[in-house]
Structure 1
C-alpha cells in the first residue's frame, strides 16, 4: 500500500515544485465571499491559504458578508434592499454590516489560529493583521436612488499593506472604508479586492465564489468551464451579456477580473468554493479548475487568417531548414490558415501552432508548434498549447497528438505520453515518414 502511495505522491509533488518556486514572494489578493463562510468552508479554506503562505506567497484576504448582513437584517425585522447590483445601506443596514464584519473577523482569525496535531494547520504560525487600509467615498445618488452609507473605494493604503506583508503577516480586509471625516461606508467585497489588487499590482486576484467559473457558452449552464480567457475575449463576452447585478450572473465577477487586468494585474481567477481544495487546484495544477482571465497586453493569441500566411512562413522557415520541422508546402499553409493559432506582438508573428482534426477518431494533430528564438523560455509555447487544447475541446475531441524528433521531453513535461506510431489515425498513418522516425506523443483532454 505504501509503495503505491509513494509512486503517486512523489511524481505529484515534483510536478507541483515549479509552481512553488514560481510563486514564492509573489502577492495574491483573495476575495472570499460571505457565502463560502456561511456554507461552512472557512476552516478548510484557511488551511489551504496557510499552506500557500507557508510556500512563500504573500496573501491579502478580503472577505465578503452578504448573507451575514442579510441575516442580521432579518433578525431585526428588516429587508435587504438592492439597486444597480449594490446594497442600499441605510443606518440599520450599516449597523448590521458592522456587526457582521466584527463577527466574521473573529471567526477568520480563529480559523487561522487553529493548530491541532495531525491537521494541516499543525505548527502553522499565521499572523492576521487588519487595519484601516481603505479610504472610501459615497456612491451617492444614481437614477434617483440614494445609496446612503454604501461607498466605493477612493484610495488604498498600499504602503501600509506592503509593510505588513513584508513582516510575514496575512492582511485581512473587511469590506468597509472610511472617509477623511471618519464616516464609515459599506463597500462591495469585489470592489475592495479589485482595487487592492490593482493598487498593489498583485500577481493574482482570486475570487472564491458561488459559481464554478465562466462557461465556454455563457448561456448554457451545462457547457464546459473556459479555463483560460484572454482579456480581449473577456471584454467581448461582457459586452454580449445582460448587465450583471447578481453574484450568480456570468458577468458579475468577470467584470472585476477585467478591471483588474486592465489595471495591471496579469492573472485574475474565478473559482468555486464548493469544491474542496479549489484554491490549491487552481494555483498548483497546470490546467486549474476555474476560469483565469489573462492580460496579454501587447501580445495577442488568436486564430490566423490568410493575411498571416507570410508571417507564419517566415517564422517556421529556419526550423524547416535545420530539420526541427518537416517542410510544409506553402499552398498547404495558405489553404489551412484557419487551422493555425498565432501569437502576435505589435503586428509581428512570433509563435504558431496548427490543429488538424480527425473527428472520427475523436483526436487531432497539433503540428508546426513554433516559437521565435527571441521569445523562447517565456511561456509562449505553453500558451499556444493551451489555446490548441481549447480549440480541440470545443470540437468535442478527446485527445491531441504530436510527432516530434527533437522536443519530446518538452511535451512529456506537459502531460503527453509516448505511444507506438500504430496508434495514429489511419489517414495520418499513411502519411507517416518511417525514415524520419518521429516520436508520437498523445495527451488526453480532460
Structure 2
C-alpha cells in the first residue's frame, strides 16, 4: 500500500510541470473517423474532458472517412479518390452530410455523460459547433472535376476564440460553406491545420491510424524540426491515402508554418495516446516544431520555480541538501538548466573557488521521466565547459548516494581535507558526504 501511495505521489509530481505549462493554452485535436469506428470515442472524450478541467481550451475536429464509406456502401455506390482527395458528387455529398450529422450527435452525447466513477463524473463540458469555415471548391485537376470537394478559404477565428473563452469545447465537422450557400466536403486535416493556424493554437494534435513518422530503419521519429520534415517530404511521393507518411506530415508542417507552436501525429490505437503525448517527456508519436525543443542554457530568474519543482523531491529523500527559494534566486546565475518544450527537466549549479582553481557542482538533477537517456552526462559536460571558461582546473561534488555514477565519469574519491577552506568549514558532518574530484584537461 505504501509503495502504491509513493508511486502515485511520484506520478502526480512528474506531471505537474506539464499541467502548469498547458493551463490556458489552446489545442486543436483532430480525431480520425477510424478512432470512432473502432469504439474509442468514449475514452477520447474522457481524456479531452480531463484536459478542459486542467484549463486547456480545446477545438475538436472529427474526421469521417469510414463513416462516409459505410453510407456509400448502403447506397450501393463506390468511392472515387484522386490526388489524395475524395471526389464528392451529389451522392457522396449526401452520404457525408448524413455521416457528419450522426457523428456530431454521438460526440455531443458522449460529452454529456456524467457516470459516477468515471473521468466524466461531475464534469460539465459544453460543446459548441457552427458554420465557422468558409470554403472554396477544389475545382478541376488534370481534367477531373472534384465537384463538391473543397478547401478551407477562411476561418471565423474571432467566433471560435469567444466560444473557447466561454469555456466550451468547439466541435468542428469537415464541412465548409461558400458565400452562396453551397456545402463542400473538406478533409479533417485541412480543417484542423487551418483552424490551428487561424487561432494561433499552441498545439495541433492529429490522432490518426498511423504511429507517427517512421524512419528508414522502421523506428519512430519522436521529434522533427520543420526543416527536417520539409526535407523528408521533398523525398517522398505525393500521398494517395491516409496511411502514407506524407499525408499527415504535410498538414503538420503547414500548421507550424502558419503559427501553431507544435504539431503532433499520434496513434489512436494506443489507449490514452493523447495524454501520453502531452504529459510524458518523450510522448508516443512524432512532434514537429519550428526548432529543436531541447537545449542547455544558463538559468534565469524565470526558472526558479521550475528548479524548485525539480529538486524538491530529492531534497525530501535526503539525496540533495535543501535549498530555499531565496538561495536559488540569489545563486540563479550559477545554474544550468536542461529545457525541453518549455519545461525544465534537468539542472545543476557551479560554485567557483577561483583561488583554488576549482568549482563545486551541486544540485545535479534529472527528472525521473527523462533518466537513462544521457541527460545527466550532457549537463555534466556543460558544467565542465563553464568551469573551463572560468579558468578552473577541476570540479568537485559532494554526494551521499551517487558516488559510482560520478566515478564512471572520471571523478576520483578524495578526503574532505582536499576541499577549499571555505567549503571545508561548511561540510555537514551529519550527512557524511563523499568528496569526488574531476580534473579538467
Per the normalisation by structure 2, the TM-score is 0.72
Deviation at 1:379, TM superposition (A): 2.9
1:262 aligns with 2:257: yes
4+ residue runs over 2 A deviation: 299-302, 372-386, 404-407, 409-425, 431-440
The corresponding residue for 1:287 is: 282
Measure, in 2, the Cα distance between the counterparts of 1:6 and 1:149.
57
Query: What does the per-residue CA deviation read over 1:196-221, in whole Å, with 9 as the maximum and x for residues that have no partner?
Result: 00000000000000011112x2x444
Is the 2:135–2:154 Cα contact (8 Å) retained in structure 1? Answer: yes
Where does 1:41-80 land on structure 2 (aligned, <5 Å)? 41-80=40-79
User: 1:69/1:382 Cα in 2 relative to 1: closer, same or farther (>3 Å)?
Assistant: closer
1:227 aligns with 2:226: no
Measure, in 2, the Cα distance between the counterparts of 1:13 and 1:194.
32
Deviation at 1:40, TM superposition (A): 0.4
Is the 1:265–1:295 Cα contact (8 Å) retained in structure 2? Answer: no
Where does 1:144-155 land on structure 2 (aligned, <5 Å)? 144-155=143-154
The counterpart of 2:411, out of the listed 429, 432, 440, is 432
Secondary structure in 2 aligned to 1:53? helix
The 10-residue stretch of structure 1 (259-268 or 374-383) with the greater mean CA deviation from structure 2: 374-383
The corresponding residue for 1:188 is: 187
Where does 1:96-107 land on structure 2 (aligned, <5 Å)? 96-107=95-106
Deviation at 1:157, TM superposition (A): 0.1
Measure, in 1, the Cα distance between the counterparts of 2:11 and 2:345.
21
Measure, in 2, the Cα distance between the counterparts of 1:119 and 1:381.
31
Measure, in 2, the Cα distance between the counterparts of 1:47 and 1:385.
28
Equivalent pairs, count = 348
Is the 2:294–2:340 Cα contact (8 Å) retained in structure 1? Answer: no
Deviation at 1:21, TM superposition (A): 1.1
Measure, in 2, the Cα distance between the counterparts of 1:13 and 1:300.
23
Structure 1, unpaired ranges of 5+: 303-311, 317-371, 387-403, 441-446
User: 1:66/1:300 Cα in 2 relative to 1: closer, same or farther (>3 Å)?
Assistant: closer
Query: What does the per-residue CA deviation read over 1:140-160, in whole Å, with 9 as the maximum and x for residues that have no partner?
Result: 001111000000000000011
Measure, in 2, the Cα distance between the counterparts of 1:67 and 1:90.
17
The corresponding residue for 2:15 is: 16
Structure 2, unpaired ranges of 5+: 299-331, 347-359, 377-398, 420-434
User: 1:412/1:88 Cα in 2 relative to 1: closer, same or farther (>3 Å)?
Assistant: closer
Is the 1:94–1:149 Cα contact (8 Å) retained in structure 2? Answer: yes
Secondary structure in 1 aligned to 2:213? coil
User: 1:14/1:90 Cα in 2 relative to 1: closer, same or farther (>3 Å)?
Assistant: same
Per the normalisation by structure 1, the TM-score is 0.72
1:379 aligns with 2:374: no
Measure, in 2, the Cα distance between the counterparts of 1:242 and 1:439.
55
Deviation at 1:413, TM superposition (A): 7.9
The 10-residue stretch of structure 1 (202-211 or 235-244) with the greater mean CA deviation from structure 2: 235-244
Where does 1:384-423 land on structure 2 (aligned, <5 Å)? 405-410=361-366, 414-415=370-371, 420-422=402-404
Deviation at 1:409, TM superposition (A): 2.7
User: 1:380/1:91 Cα in 2 relative to 1: closer, same or farther (>3 Å)?
Assistant: closer
User: 1:39/1:60 Cα in 2 relative to 1: closer, same or farther (>3 Å)?
Assistant: same
Is the 2:294–2:339 Cα contact (8 Å) retained in structure 1? Answer: no
User: 1:109/1:291 Cα in 2 relative to 1: closer, same or farther (>3 Å)?
Assistant: same
Measure, in 2, the Cα distance between the counterparts of 1:248 and 1:101.
22
User: 1:26/1:422 Cα in 2 relative to 1: closer, same or farther (>3 Å)?
Assistant: closer
Query: What does the per-residue CA deviation read over 1:206-238, in whole Å, with 9 as the maximum and x for residues that have no partner?
Result: 0000011112x2x444x2x21111111111111
Deviation at 1:405, TM superposition (A): 2.2
The corresponding residue for 1:168 is: 167
Deviation at 1:75, TM superposition (A): 0.5
Greater Rg by CA? 2
Is the 2:27–2:201 Cα contact (8 Å) retained in structure 1? Answer: yes
User: 1:145/1:220 Cα in 2 relative to 1: closer, same or farther (>3 Å)?
Assistant: farther
Measure, in 2, the Cα distance between the counterparts of 1:381 and 1:193.
22
